[in-house]
Structure 1
Amino acid sequence: MATTAAQPPSTHLSALQTARAWLESRLDAERDQLPLWLPVMLGAGISAWFVLPDSIGWRGVLLAGLAVMLFAIALGRGGRTGRVVAISAAAFSLGVGLIWTKADRAAAPVLQRPIVAHLTARVEKVDQLPARSLVRLRLTDLQWTDPAPANRPIRIRVNILDRDVPAGLVPHATVALRARLMPPPPPAVPGAYDFARVAWFDGIGATGRALGPVRILSGGSSNEPVRTRLSRHIQARLSGSAGGIAAALATGDTGGIDEADQEAMRASGLAHLLSVSGLHITAAVGLTMLLATRLLALNLRLALTGRVPLLAAALGAAAALGYTWLTGGEVPTIRSCIAALLVLAAMALGREALTLRLVATGALVVLLMWPEALAGASFQLSFAAVTAIIALAEHHRVREWFGPRDEGWPRRLLRGGGSLLLTGVAVEVALMPIAIFHFHKAGVYGALANIVAIPLTTFVIMPLEALALLVDAVSLGAPIWWLTGQALAVLLWIAHVTAAAPGATTAIPVMPGVAFGLIVAGGLWLALWRTSWRPFGLLPIAVGTVWTLLTPPPDVLVTGDGRHVALRMTDGQTALLRERAGDYARDMLAEAGGAEEELVPLSEQAHASCTRDLCRATLSNGDRSWRVLATRSAYLVPIADMIAACRAADIVVSDRRLPRGCNPRWLRLDRPALESTGGIAITLATGNVRTVHRPGDAHPWVSATSTARSEQP
């Protein structure tokens, strides 16, 4: 009987040394790119904390990162591989610790159940929302009168109707009001917006609306903040959404833009123009530096010293800081300001300004200061766009195609247009998976729309608006405001034409989280490496894309309160249980279900029958039919009839507690069940049931809302 001799230890050692030598050579070839992965690994640690459910998992990955770091230090023997692995593991563990610490430090009481209360408070922030006839207040230093909740929040957010807002309402004023408050809501269905998480890191323990007029007790002033006065001034010069967009460009206040126009901007891929970010900071800094350079160069002595660019950069930095303060100092604006200051510092030092190292430095600063920003769409969209633009510009083939050369203006113009189109396509491709993951929609014509809209905004609208504001000092700005309004009308026309084009947007069901992670990892691999292993990033992108496209839309969507149910019918339409559902509920259910058409009433469908109190619907999936029963009114059905209807159904949904004898064949989703699961998405073909609340989820905002749900009667 023949035997196979075991491989001698020297063979294994030789293979390990060969692999290590190969990796050392690869990393040596990429040594200039290695620092770019530091914020990536920091972000990976932050992401792991968000994904893992409890402290056991958080401690596990944190300690695992530290163990890998120590292992790499011990066995690295001073090589590049050991250093890279050790630093990467340390950054990963630092990310876990940062976000965990930030979440613990943000802890604040959360309201346990909806209440109507009288209270006095200090105004911390005032947001004008004229398009919705609302003013939104953030209040702190709360003094509760009747009733006083057991778990008293220290900060709340309240909406007030315009007619109930007193004159002179400004930050730091003390006000008295009566308000209906509720705990910050979790996602209504899987994949929807998680306000509870955002509220936790902002310290907001309740949200609601004022019932009746608000009274100012002290601190009121007829002098509104500069930002509010500027927004009002602009909207007085330009009416409608044009004034709202102009105010957004100047102050970051988007409350004056009509919902229809906002939706058109989103569908056309132009919504980024409404959020003060890199584009706006760049335009402000660029315009300031251009004017400063021209004016300073008039001084011959100063021009001969060569200090004009340095002084212009200093004035540009001042403009960036002032613009950031004026627009409210939100995280996206601060992020863009940091990036602008880094660019100006690089220019002052004579270094190349726009590089991926600059982007990595900006991302590192933001993640160290606001690690929770990683989970938001704003951070992901802005850094993905800038990374795509710079990575494309640094590619050697792109530099060959679009680099400066001696040629006539027609060819130069054509080459510039091609460069803009290629950049727009690259940005659109980079942003598409993020838009699908967060908003469940993919734009098609955004690259083309941005080719016109970005230059129009940067070189026409913003300079005209700045000039109009400047000339308003001598009351001569009317003609320039008219020109600004015409340019804004063109921008809105582009948005509406693009949004109305056939196939402008495609609705896609909620993207699986793992698929999104694969696409992001592949995109980073493609953008950050430079040698021959760069194309391997296409593999996870392909896997994540196919996974997303093959994910079927849910057949049943149930909100966490059980009031709203959306069913995908046999003909492909999505039907809604309650015909009087508001626009928010309709849009949220349509996005989560990947429905492109308007939701239709369930009572009008051929495979459904509805009374005033109940709806029965039959859903066909393959060879099987599923019967769904849902309550649709506050009136109780006779218990015998209800029990009989339950026994004939596969799934029963209700916004109230069902009788014990109500036992459907498969799922019973009444108030007690939904309080523990949150909103639900069901795919009948696979039997997959996704819930908002995962079992054992110990993230602090989930624990806080879980306590609130358990204490509600």
Structure 2
Amino acid sequence: MPKAAVDEGALEFRVDPPDAHLPASASRGDVSATDTTVAAARPEDRPRFDPSVAARRFVTLVESELAHGRAFLFAPVFLGLGSVLWFSAYETPRPAIYQTCLFVSLVLAVLLRHRSRVLAFSAAAAALVAAGMWLAAGETARKATVILDGPVTVDLTGRVVSREAVTGGGWRYTVDVVSTERPVLKRPPERVALIARGPHEAFADGQGIVGRARLSPPSGPAMPGLTDFAFSSYFQEIGAIGFFYGAPRPAVLPEAAAKGLLASAYAWIGHLRIVIGERIRSIIPGDAGAFATAMVTDERRAMTRETAEALRLSGLAHIIAISGLNMALSAGIFFVGFRMLLSLHQGLAQAVPIKKLAAVGALAGVTAYYLLSGSAVSAERAWLMMSIMLIAVLIGRPSISIRNVAISALVILVMAPSDVMGASFQMSFAATAALVAGYALFRERKEDDRQISALPSVAFVTKSWRFFWGIALTSIIGGVSTAIFSVAHFQQLAVWGLPANLAAMPVVSFIVMPAGLIAMLLMPFGLDAWPLRVMGFGLDLVIDIAREISSWGGEGASGLLPPFVFPLVVTGFLLLVILKTELRFIGAALIAATFAATFLVEDRSPPSIVISESGDLVGIVGANTVATNRENPPSFIFSQWRRALDGPDHIKPVMMPDGAGKRAESQPRRRELTAEEAEAARHAMAGALAAGEAGRFTCLKRLWCIARYGETMTDDIKIAVVEDAAFVESACMSADIIVTPVRLRRSACPFNPVSTGNGDALIDPVVRGAADDSLTGAGVANRPRLFTGVSLARHGSIAIRFENGFQGRAKIETARNGSERPWNLHRLYDWRSDRFLDDAEASMSLDISDSGE
């Protein structure tokens, strides 16, 4: 066979003679010589890897990608990368840096656009990264949310912005704060979210509300490396969360400023959402009614915890959110329905493009659905993508394309750059991009069974098979593409997601969504009862499926990923989905290499001790266990711990009977014990340590808990959790690590009564917050470490790891890590001086006792 060779630079072809690659003896017909020579080819005659050829080949492939218009698809990637870099920076980047980079990169991109596509693309990418940072800075400055610095109970007067039904009755109100009393807050949040469970008539939007309320700042990470809810609250403009004591009362407020037309329209839509939600729940009782309300108006808090947990464990929780699935089904039903109705009139079908008219009707339908959903972030993304796809139908372009996904992402990143940090944004676009790319591959396959499918006897079977195969394939692609994001953000995977979706999605597609859309169309005429009951029937089936599959077990807790895994896998995923040439296989290789590296590199050991930022929950981590100081730990924090620690079993504390170590009930509550009470408390703590099981707390209810982390009494670490501040001194005499939720001003025990097993101090008394920062006792007074409510609120949750057993060397990691970004700046606020303290001032102030010593 002639051998054709290609010169990549000149793109010229040459054809060698048939025997040009053989030795002379072979060309003369010496077959035996030919066989011998070919079989024993010399190493120097074998083809070698030429870096210059590989480089030219790479440049050629990049040029091909650019020629296919792939450069535009990377625009949202680089824009989002800039926002991620800005939000993740340890300190707020200086504007001059990214503004200069933006200007220089734009100039270079313009100058190089006719000289080198690759260099121009690189300059444009740098400009997009800088633009992403600029947009992130602008959104942060625009929000400027005031976040409460610490828990407080106040008389609050405000104006209701919106309301949402919650589980077990009651309402969750979003309230604009007008005033606070008892005490008057020096730095009150402008907007709060409060739950009211006391019996009362629901407040309407814009109505005044007053009541005694408990306010708390949004929770930070439950453990270093987990989700910071203060970040999302900052960009949702919620400065505090909490609840009313009892039922709130109406308040007479000054007349609000007259609303503009747009604000009035939003207020009317908000009232309509409430009316629709109440109507649905009046027809569909129980969890099915809450489920239906969530799918229509995005009110998700009325569902019981058991049902919500079943949906989460079974992988069906995505049905609740108004996202791509719901919007696509509604758009599809509107589009097909309008097109069928228009096609009934033959003259109309021949005179006008009914496909485009149907697209207009579907666009109006999904827009109404989006407005009724309350304009949630996930609904906004789904509506935007569906709108672009329907507009593409109107202008005669492909409706389903990766370019439409890129346009949607660009619009959202320009409007709200902070969305890029959220799991909802990442998972939504990852699933959509993967499905579009997978659809493009399967669309290229030829249909070989058209004649067979045309037979009436097999048409139904074929279509049914394709439907269920489509659901399975969609579930597989969606599940695989979002798995890394689920593990990174929630530390879990839905093990039984595929069978759950195969069983539930036909019900949702053929019963729930059509009935729901019919009910919404008939509701203005009062004819919505029967379609709502059909919808409720379908949702009851979905709930039954979720409960059955969740009972199979397999929660799929994955633990924390090594830091390098997430960015590398996401990079590989983007290359695999976006690129068109064989360069996309670089993405697949990167993903495979990253997962292989996770098995080759040394695993990062889980923390030995974890402390919540409130200080009222402490965990001792063992092999597949976590022992806490609470018999029933707060589920919000503990569920995150379990997922991050790979699903360990909970070990409850041993509760001591009342007796020694408890101060006299007749004594008033005070910060100090008498000498006799202090001695009895120390004796009780010592007895609990001696009799207690290693790695398990022993507690005196509402006073203190104590445990030892280690195998023997000579080389272990002793941990005490003190609820009553009067016992802090006794705990300092008995333990190495003392945690109290009480907001004490001092941050260290003022004496040196106890040491670690080898006589060294355990930890430097000032938390510096750097991850993997080794803190030893060199040059530090030999005293235990005290974590108070003040220091924990300032630095966030704590993870402690011990090296080489329990020989006094420890690594501390704090959730805040010392950064001073706008969403955690409230941690440095000192209400006494009404100013923000830097870390050095905060640490110095914490080392001063109440007496000023």
Normalised TM-score (structure 1): 0.88
Listed as ranges, the matches of 1:640-651 within 5 Å are 641-646=730-735, 649=736, 651=737
Listed as ranges, the matches of 1:26-425 within 5 Å are 26-31=61-66, 32=68, 33-56=70-93, 60=97, 63=100, 78-129=115-166, 131-140=167-176, 142-163=178-199, 165-167=200-202, 169-217=203-251, 225-395=271-441, 399-400=444-445, 405-408=450-453, 409=459, 410-411=461-462, 413-425=464-476
Partner SS, residue 159 of structure 2: strand
Q: Deviation at 1:111?
A: 2.7
Inter-partner Cα distance in structure 2 for 1:443 and 1:548: 21
Distance change in 2, residues 1:540/1:265 (3 Å): same
In structure 2, the residue matched to 1:526 is: 576
Preserved CA contact (<8 Å) 1:69 1:85: no
Q: Deviation at 1:256?
A: 2.2
Distance change in 2, residues 1:383/1:262 (3 Å): same
Preserved CA contact (<8 Å) 1:135 1:162: no
Where do 5+ consecutive residues of structure 2 fail to align?
1-49, 256-266, 454-458, 656-691, 756-760, 764-784, 805-809, 832-836
Inter-partner Cα distance in structure 2 for 1:111 and 1:402: 62
Partner SS, residue 293 of structure 1: helix
**The one of 678, 687, 692 aligned to 2:815:** 692
Q: Deviation at 1:360?
A: 0.5
Partner SS, residue 55 of structure 1: coil
**The one of 719, 722, 733 aligned to 1:629:** 719
Inter-partner Cα distance in structure 1 for 2:115 and 2:153: 65
Q: Deviation at 1:573?
A: 1.4
Q: Deviation at 1:594?
A: 2.4
Amino acid at match of 2:799: A
Higher mean C-alpha displacement, 524-533 vs 209-218: 209-218
Q: Deviation at 1:76?
A: 6.8
**The one of 663, 667, 670 aligned to 2:787:** 670
Inter-partner Cα distance in structure 2 for 1:178 and 1:79: 67
Higher mean C-alpha displacement, 50-59 vs 276-285: 50-59
Preserved CA contact (<8 Å) 1:521 1:537: yes
In structure 2, the residue matched to 1:585 is: 637
Preserved CA contact (<8 Å) 1:27 1:80: no
Preserved CA contact (<8 Å) 2:795 2:814: yes
Distance change in 2, residues 1:608/1:601 (3 Å): closer
Inter-partner Cα distance in structure 2 for 1:53 and 1:107: 19
Preserved CA contact (<8 Å) 2:150 2:793: no
Inter-partner Cα distance in structure 2 for 1:316 and 1:294: 13
Higher mean C-alpha displacement, 16-25 vs 88-97: 16-25
Q: Deviation at 1:607?
A: 4.3
Inter-partner Cα distance in structure 2 for 1:477 and 1:56: 55
Preserved CA contact (<8 Å) 2:198 2:246: no
Amino acid at match of 1:702: N
- Per-residue CA deviations over 1:405-443 (Å, capped at 9, x if unaligned) read 443334554455334323321211111111111111112
Distance change in 2, residues 1:380/1:56 (3 Å): closer
- Per-residue CA deviations over 1:238-262 (Å, capped at 9, x if unaligned) read 1111111111112111122111111
Amino acid at match of 2:389: V
Q: Deviation at 1:552?
A: 3.6
Distance change in 2, residues 1:62/1:188 (3 Å): farther
Q: Deviation at 1:626?
A: 4.3
Inter-partner Cα distance in structure 2 for 1:226 and 1:184: 29
Amino acid at match of 1:560: E
Preserved CA contact (<8 Å) 1:566 1:575: yes
Q: Does 1:653 align with 2:754?
A: no
Q: Deviation at 1:265?
A: 0.9
Larger relative contact order (Cα-Cα within 8 Å, sequence gap ≥ 6): 1
Inter-partner Cα distance in structure 1 for 2:481 and 2:728: 56
Listed as ranges, the matches of 1:604-619 within 5 Å are 605=693, 607-608=695-696, 610-612=698-700, 613-619=704-710
In structure 2, the residue matched to 1:459 is: 510
State the Cα RMSD in Å.
3.2
Inter-partner Cα distance in structure 1 for 2:597 and 2:473: 27
In structure 1, the residue matched to 2:485 is: 434
Distance change in 2, residues 1:422/1:630 (3 Å): same
Partner SS, residue 507 of structure 1: coil
Preserved CA contact (<8 Å) 1:568 1:574: yes
Amino acid at match of 2:499: L
Distance change in 2, residues 1:599/1:515 (3 Å): farther
Distance change in 2, residues 1:67/1:628 (3 Å): farther
Partner SS, residue 498 of structure 1: helix
In structure 2, the residue matched to 1:508 is: 558
Preserved CA contact (<8 Å) 1:575 1:602: no
Preserved CA contact (<8 Å) 1:557 1:680: yes
Q: Deviation at 1:300?
A: 4.1
Partner SS, residue 614 of structure 1: strand
Q: Does 1:680 align with 2:778?
A: no
Larger helix percent: 1
Count of equivalent residues: 686
Distance change in 2, residues 1:74/1:285 (3 Å): closer
Distance change in 2, residues 1:244/1:195 (3 Å): same
Inter-partner Cα distance in structure 2 for 1:547 and 1:17: 29
Q: Deviation at 1:633?
A: 2.9
Preserved CA contact (<8 Å) 1:293 1:308: yes
Inter-partner Cα distance in structure 2 for 1:400 and 1:426: 18
- Per-residue CA deviations over 1:288-317 (Å, capped at 9, x if unaligned) read 222322333344442221332222211111
Inter-partner Cα distance in structure 2 for 1:157 and 1:134: 13
Preserved CA contact (<8 Å) 1:310 1:348: yes
Higher mean C-alpha displacement, 288-297 vs 92-101: 288-297
Inter-partner Cα distance in structure 1 for 2:154 and 2:462: 69
Higher mean C-alpha displacement, 465-474 vs 327-336: 465-474
Q: Deviation at 1:171?
A: 0.9
Higher mean C-alpha displacement, 154-163 vs 245-254: 154-163
Identity %: 25
Distance change in 2, residues 1:166/1:70 (3 Å): same
Inter-partner Cα distance in structure 1 for 2:572 and 2:447: 26
Amino acid at match of 2:698: C
Inter-partner Cα distance in structure 2 for 1:61 and 1:628: 49
Preserved CA contact (<8 Å) 2:109 2:124: no
Normalised TM-score (structure 2): 0.74
Distance change in 2, residues 1:364/1:652 (3 Å): same
Partner SS, residue 400 of structure 2: coil
**The one of 542, 567, 571 aligned to 2:620:** 567
Inter-partner Cα distance in structure 1 for 2:219 and 2:567: 26
Higher mean C-alpha displacement, 94-103 vs 540-549: 540-549
Partner SS, residue 442 of structure 1: coil
In structure 1, the residue matched to 2:676 is: none
Inter-partner Cα distance in structure 2 for 1:58 and 1:492: 51
Preserved CA contact (<8 Å) 2:620 2:696: no
Partner SS, residue 302 of structure 1: helix
Distance change in 2, residues 1:75/1:421 (3 Å): same
Amino acid at match of 2:822: P
Inter-partner Cα distance in structure 2 for 1:556 and 1:405: 64
